[in-house]
Amino acid sequence: MQRPARPPRRRERGELPAVLARSCEEFVIKICFLMYHGSMQSGGQGVYLANITRELARRGHDVHVISGPPYPQLDGAVRHHRIATRSFQAMLLDRRRFFLAAPPLAHLQPLDFFEFASTRFTLASLINVFTLRALGCLAAIEAASGPFDLVHDNQSLGYGLLLMRGLLGRPVVANVHHPLDVDARNAVRHVNSLPEKVRRIVWYPWLMQRVVARRLDALISGSRASAGLIERTWSLPAGAVRTIYDGVDSERFRPGAADERQRGTLLFVGNAEDHNKGIVYLLRALALLPAIRLARLYVVGGPAAASRLVTSEAARLGLADWVTVVGRVSEGDLAAWYRRAQVLVSPSLYEGFGLPAAEAMASGTPVVATDAGALPEVVADGETGVIVPAADPRALADAIATLLADPARCRAYGEAGRARVLERFTWQQHVRGLEALYGDVLAARGGASM
């Protein structure tokens, strides 16, 4: 039964919340989340933010979010503070609004002009300017309604966070779903020309995030594999990143009626233009399936435009009639796709958690996944799905063919997957882990013994 939300008592500056880490007593804090963009269809970060802020608000905490566009879809109990941006990406989203929303000379203001010019070439600038704007927004909110107990950053790790700690004196924790160094290496590896390699090297924040991460109060990641990778990549001490498994909305993603499942339907969910997601290996695996097992693949998710990578690779392999690019869909439609698929395939080269795999399991759908990153922690090999080596089309093809030929095994894996999600990967469990972390951070700041 859901507990009613309780209005938080306003505390004086410097007063420590009643955190009792060794008991089951509850505490209430005022917390501000930061997210430089809150898209609900890109990378899962907007989905993560929407779910944890909703659950924290339901548990009685006073929850605020400062975000840039595209803005996340948040629960009504969460206070949302939208920051405008003058980035090159914002201009691409809506040119008319971008240029007409402010007087012409406003575009030449130093910070605005710098943001627009620099974000044409680098993500680091977009992230850093967001955290600087968020610093001003945070200070304004505190001036109106009192100080926050804690700031929780979602993957930004810009220099503005250090000012929040140093100038405002706020404890800051950060989620690192995975270090962007991984994306950078994969992006560079998958292009051949020197100019394209240089463009990708410049785009990613190679240094800023690791500098900021070392100076925060706590770091969180959604799996043991991701936590270990962050520590190795950024040369952090072992145990510096706390593992709190990400969650799934187990009410929205749930098994459907038996007749919803369509035999021979394969599903890929994710940004197909992201080489890290491994779609090319799935297409090559599809080309290796025997004719009797050839299945139809549906590609659901970003990018906003049609995936050139899928279209060109499918045509090259002679699979155009067997691959359908669905594109972005609503969360309700996504749940229906999971219920419809016989098998969900996650061919990633790296995953910090693997949300599509977990959502498929919650929906009673078996999973074929690679051994990349956290996927073996989410998918139990031989119990809820099949784990194969990453970047191995032959192994993918064999695993897919085995499941397509065995509906009974698919049903058994699907039932076990649903049980595994309910046991380990719910947002309620994740938020309880966050509360324990918050308690530790606040007690350490207040000198209390935890």
pLDDT of residue 20: 38
Least confident window among 23-27, 29-33, 176-180, 432-436: 23-27
For residue range 379-430, what is the model confidence (pLDDT) as tens digits? 999 999 999 999 999 999 999 999 999 999 999 999 999 999 999 999 999 9
For residue range 202-255, what is the model confidence (pLDDT) as tens digits? 888 878 999 999 999 999 999 999 999 999 999 999 999 999 999 999 999 999
* Domain match, 322 and 186 both: no
Domain membership of residue 189 as a residue range: 30-247+427-446
Other Cβ atoms closer than 10 A to 85: 23
Least confident window among 35-44, 202-211, 304-313: 35-44
* Domain match, 308 and 215 both: no
* Domain match, 283 and 363 both: yes
pLDDT of residue 10: 45
* Domain match, 188 and 289 both: no
For residue range 354-374, what is the model confidence (pLDDT) as tens digits? 999 999 999 999 999 999 999
pLDDT exceeds cutoff 80 at 2? no
* Domain match, 263 and 182 both: no
For residue range 233-242, what is the model confidence (pLDDT) as tens digits? 999 999 999 9
Under a CB-based contact definition with an 8 Å cutoff, are residues 402 and 384 in contact? Answer: no
d(CA 140, CA 129): 17
* Domain match, 55 and 190 both: yes
* Domain match, 236 and 296 both: no
User: Is position 22 within any domain?
Assistant: no
The 3 state secondary structure assigned to 161-201 is HHHHHHCCCCCEEEECCCCHHHHHHHHHHCCCCHHHHHHHH
* Domain match, 177 and 274 both: no
Label residue 449 by pLDDT band (50, 70, 90): very low
* Domain match, 215 and 131 both: yes
pTM for the model stands at 0.86
d(CA 364, CA 248): 13
pLDDT of residue 354: 93
pLDDT exceeds cutoff 50 at 149? yes
What single DSSP character describes residue 108?
Answer: G
pLDDT of residue 42: 53
Number of folded domains in the chain? 2
Label residue 41 by pLDDT band (50, 70, 90): low
For residue range 18-34, what is the model confidence (pLDDT) as tens digits? 443 333 346 899 999 99
The strand order across the sheet containing 218-221 reads 79-82, 62-67, 30-35, 150-154, 172-175, 218-221, 241-243
d(CA 163, CA 152): 14
Torsion of CA 429, 435, 438, 444, to 10 degrees: -110
* Domain match, 66 and 212 both: yes
Mean pLDDT of all residues in 168-175: 97
* Domain match, 94 and 215 both: yes
Q: Which residues pair with 383 in a beta bridge?
A: none
* Domain match, 237 and 314 both: no
